Amino acid sequence: MVMDFVRELGKHSIRAGIASNIPSIAKGMLNEFFTQYKVTPEAVITMVENKQSLWELLRPQDIIKIEKALAQVDNLDWLNEGWFLNAIVEKHSALVSLFVKWRKGQNWLAKQLNEIKTNTENLRNNGAGG
């Protein structure tokens, strides 16, 4: 009985530790995806002009990675424009410049973040398959 309590406490502590690190884990994932999918200023300009979705670039295996990571947190309140720009500034500073200086890019980014939040909430509620 005591051991069951200790095990449960350990599970909650591990989950809390992972949850508190999700923004930094998500930062690494975001930068990896941007590099892997060749998200450059030129690509973003085309995406903005054509009203393309960033989410739709993702392959199913990447969506599963996102689902697993975000299953560890209770909410996505931290996922906003400020977090996003800070997350990519070191490796993708030209994109930050583009988003900061281009109003159309700012609007597109806000829409993308809302779509990401909606889709990840749907993943959480329905699983990656549904």
**Domain count along the chain:** 1
pLDDT of residue 21: 67
Q: Which domain holds residue 69?
A: 2-126
Listed in sequence order, the residues at least 6 apart from 73 whose beta carbon sits closer than 8 Å to its beta carbon are 19, 22
pLDDT digits (tens, 9 = 90+) for 71-120: 777 788 888 999 999 999 999 999 999 999 999 999 999 999 999 989 88
> How do residues 2-38 score in pLDDT, each as one tens digit?
555 545 544 444 444 444 567 888 899 999 999 999 9
